[in-house]
Every structure is written in C-alpha cells, then in structure tokens.
C-alpha cells in the first residue's frame, strides 16, 4: 500500500515537471507576413536592413550589387536563411552566393543547403533559368563559447547576397531579391554551462544625451531583438529532465528499500522457548 502511494505521488510530480518542458518545446507560430516587411536592402554591414525572423524581405537591385540584411538570433536557435533572386528574361550564366556573418563579422559556415548556385543563361532556345534559390542552415547558436572558437553566439547576424561570377554584359541588369529567416528551437540539447554578459549587437559608439544629468548611451547599429527577448543563457529544459532523473533515482531507492527491508534479519525467538 505504501509503495502504491509513493508511485502515485511520483507520477504526479513527473507529470507536473514534464508539462512546462513540453510547452516550451512546442514551436511558436511564425509571424505573419505583413505590409511592414522591408522592401530594400543595405549596401554594407553598417547599412544592413533589419528584418525579423519569419518576415519575407524584398529588394530591387542591379546585378553586381552587394545586398545586406541583418536579423537577431538567440541561444538554442538554428537559423535557416533562404534567398530567391528573380533574374531578367535575357541574361548570361550567373553564379549567386549567400553568406552569413555574426555580430563580430565572422563568416559562419553552413551545415547544409545550396549556398552557391549557378543560373543557366536566359533568353536561349533552351529557356535558361528565371530565378535562383539559395539556402543556408547555420549551426545551433550557443549561449557561450571559448574565445578561440568560431561558434555562433547570440546577437545580430548579417546576410550578404551577391553574384560571384558575372558576364560583363549583365552588369547592372535589374534583379529582384527575396530573403527570409526561420529558426528551429533546439532547446536543452544545445545548452552549455555559461552565457555571454551581453549579446553580440554591434554599436556605433557612445552618444551624449542632454538633460539635467547628461549621460552617454551607445548607439546600436541593430536594434531588433528576438520575440521573447534575449535569453539569460542559464535556463533550459535540460534542468527539467535532470530533475526527473533525480526523482526516478529517489523512487528506485525507496522501492528497493521497501522490497528488501527485513530480509536477512534473524527471526526473534520468544524468551523461554
């Protein structure tokens, strides 16, 4: 009877512990596309157009331009950057490439995806290519990393889209570009013991603010944050599963004691027997 009560209480505690973990791991709905999505791109890191994850940004440019966007990525996220370039009806063979840099302007490697693609010449009897689709799936963003490592860290990320192989005749032809960033929440599987003091959000230097007590504030080149704010880095769902493991170990100890207590004890013989 006592073992049954212990099992029931432990099962209830496990249910309460697992519930928040399941709720946290469920994917959040992507922001709906609206008229507020950016319709232009920057031409350098400092002028990169900010976009939110889940938005589809568009831009009209000329072939040969460097196009820049920036987006925020937090610890535990695995961003996927996708870009589509719509080419003119008549063009020579072109090779387009998408690159992603972190807040320190370190180029981040793609785990997989077509980061570079070549479009066949258009306006030919074979038809050619009317668009180019590129993709880059980054590594999971860590809350902390060794100084010598090149791991992705929380902060601002930059997207650069450009053509890397172009015929002189195509230089300056109009093109339309679309860029979108989505993330998969990896959760506790990517948790590390440590966190950055501040996310890697580039600043333009200190500026003075007037008032009775004049103070200085850093002007940020990127102001967007993740929808839930920057994570502190110490909490993850692995704490829940660690707690569950501890409770299961305690349950095993209680059950083993209840099953084996009294075994091996000498039988008490009544006096005078």
Q: Which pLDDT does position 183 carry in this prediction?
A: 92
Q: Is residue 252 part of a domain?
A: no
The DSSP bridge partners found for residue 38 are none
Where b means 16+ CB within 10 Å and e means fewer, 230-241 reads bbebeebbeebe
**What is the crossing angle of helices 2-25 and 238-260, to 10°?**
170
Summary mean pLDDT of the chain:
78
Which backbone phi and psi does 7 adopt, to 5 degrees?
-60, -40
pLDDT digits 0-9 by tens, 43-80: 999 999 999 999 999 999 999 999 999 999 998 899 99
Residue 227: which of 23, 32, 22 has the closest Cα?
Answer: 32
Q: Would residue 128 be called left, alpha or beta, if left means φ above 0 and alpha means ψ between -120 and 50 degrees?
A: left
Q: Which has the minimum average pLDDT: 182-186, 202-206, 264-268?
A: 264-268
Q: Which pLDDT does position 31 carry in this prediction?
A: 41
Choice between 236 and 96, residue whose per-residue pLDDT is larger: 96
Residue 196: which of 144, 152, 141 has the closest Cα?
Answer: 144
Q: Is residue 263 part of a domain?
A: no
Choice between 244 and 190, residue whose per-residue pLDDT is larger: 244
Q: Is residue 8 part of a domain?
A: no
Q: Is residue 27 part of a domain?
A: no
- The owner of tokens 């013991």 is 193
Whether the Cβ atoms of residue 195 and residue 76 lie closer than 8 Å to each other: no
Q: CA 218, 223, 224 angle in degrees (round to 5)?
A: 155
CA 106 to CA 8: how far, in whole Å? 53
Report the domain count for the chain.
1
- Residue 99 sits in which domain range? 37-238
Strand duo 110-112 + 77-86: pairing: unpaired
Q: Is residue 31 part of a domain?
A: no
Q: For 51-154, where are the E strands, in sequence order?
A: 56-62, 67-73, 77-86, 94-101, 107-108, 110-112, 116-119, 131-138
Residue 34 pLDDT > 60: no
Q: Which pLDDT does position 140 carry in this prediction?
A: 92
Q: Is residue 255 part of a domain?
A: no
pLDDT digits 0-9 by tens, 104-140: 999 999 999 999 999 999 866 666 789 999 999 999 9
Q: Is residue 20 part of a domain?
A: no
- pTM for the whole thing? 0.71
Q: Would residue 248 be called left, alpha or beta, if left means φ above 0 and alpha means ψ between -120 and 50 degrees?
A: alpha
Q: Is residue 12 part of a domain?
A: no
Residue 258: which of 2, 21, 33, 63 has the closest Cα?
Answer: 2
Token pair listed for 59? 């831009």
């Amino acid at each position: 009877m006592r073992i049954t009560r212990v099992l029931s209480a432990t099962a209830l505690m496990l249910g309460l512990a697992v519930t928040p973990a399941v709720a946290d791991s469920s994917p959040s709905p992507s922001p709906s596309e609206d008229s507020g999505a950016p319709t232009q791109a920057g031409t350098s890191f400092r002028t990169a157009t900010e976009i939110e994850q889940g938005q589809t940004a568009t831009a009209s440019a000329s072939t040969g331009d460097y196009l820049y966007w920036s987006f925020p990525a937090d610890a535990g996220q695995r961003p996927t950057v996708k870009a589509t370039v719509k080419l003119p009806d008549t063009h020579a063979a072109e090779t387009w490439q998408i690159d992603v840099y972190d807040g320190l302007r370190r180029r981040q490697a793609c785990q997989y995806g077509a980061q570079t693609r070549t479009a066949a010449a258009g306006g030919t009897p074979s038809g050619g290519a009317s668009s180019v689709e590129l993709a880059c799936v980054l590594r999971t963003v860590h809350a902390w990393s060794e100084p010598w490592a090149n791991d992705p860290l929380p902060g601002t990320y930059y997207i650069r889209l450009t053509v890397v192989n172009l015929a002189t005749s195509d230089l300056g032809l109009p093109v339309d570009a679309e860029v979108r960033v989505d993330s998969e929440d990896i959760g506790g599987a990517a948790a590390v013991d440590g966190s950055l003091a501040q996310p890697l959000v580039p600043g333009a230097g200190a500026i003075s603010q007037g008032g009775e007590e004049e103070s200085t504030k850093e002007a940020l080149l990127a102001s967007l944050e993740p929808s839930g704010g920057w994570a502190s880095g110490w909490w993850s769902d692995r704490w829940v599963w660690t707690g569950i493991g501890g409770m299961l170990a305690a349950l095993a100890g209680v059950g083993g004691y209840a099953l084996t207590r009294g075994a091996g004890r000498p039988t008490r013989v009544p006096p005078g027997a």
